[in-house]
Structure 1
Amino acid sequence: MKEETKRNLFKSEEEALNVLKSSREKIDKLDNDFINIIYERTSLADSIVKAKTYLDMDVYDAGREKIVFQKAENLANEKNIDQDKLNQIMRLLVDLSKDRQRHILDNLE
């Protein structure tokens, strides 16, 4: 990178180091929050599968899944996030929930 371009990014090396440190701390906090949210989302599978069992519904709900992915697609567009990458993340989250529901069902029988 040209020195002139580098000078336009920060006023000093100290400022750049502070921004780097602060950004990494925020990422660490967000990672923790993200994992806690995944845990909370996945733990909702308990009540969902029990309700589905009572209502004689299948674990797989194509309509609901379509809504989840459509919402993610809309948010990806709105937030300028790569749609394919966000879809992969949402697929993992949905699969975690379905796996948890199947596990609970196996233990109900």
Structure 2
Amino acid sequence: MLWFERQVVTTLTANLDEGLRAEVEAYVDETLRAMPEHLRAGMAAESVALGAWTRVRGGAGRSAPGASLDRLESSRLDPVRQYVRLLRSLVLFAEHELGHRPAQVVAT
């Protein structure tokens, strides 16, 4: 996973316990690697662009995508909304597939 993808996945899995979070991150990483090259290239380009934009705006900290995730989801640009939707879908699928044990939600 690229930096920005990992930050978004970390933000989306913030309420999971460490063990399940690591499994979900590994699943998302494997799934992104298994994508056809033409799809992965587009996803990688968008990750680099969004990551660069985040760093330029001064949001290079650990929680940077969390603050802007809502903004990305409500973007007027379809590919930006679909980017977040894809990562959220992968995280949700992994949570339910890998959560063979009852998911332990960490209270925040």
Q: TM-score, normalising length from structure 1?
A: 0.33
- Which is richer in helix? 1
Query: Which structure is higher in RCO with an 8 Å CA cutoff and minimum separation 6?
Result: 2
Pair member with larger Rg: 1
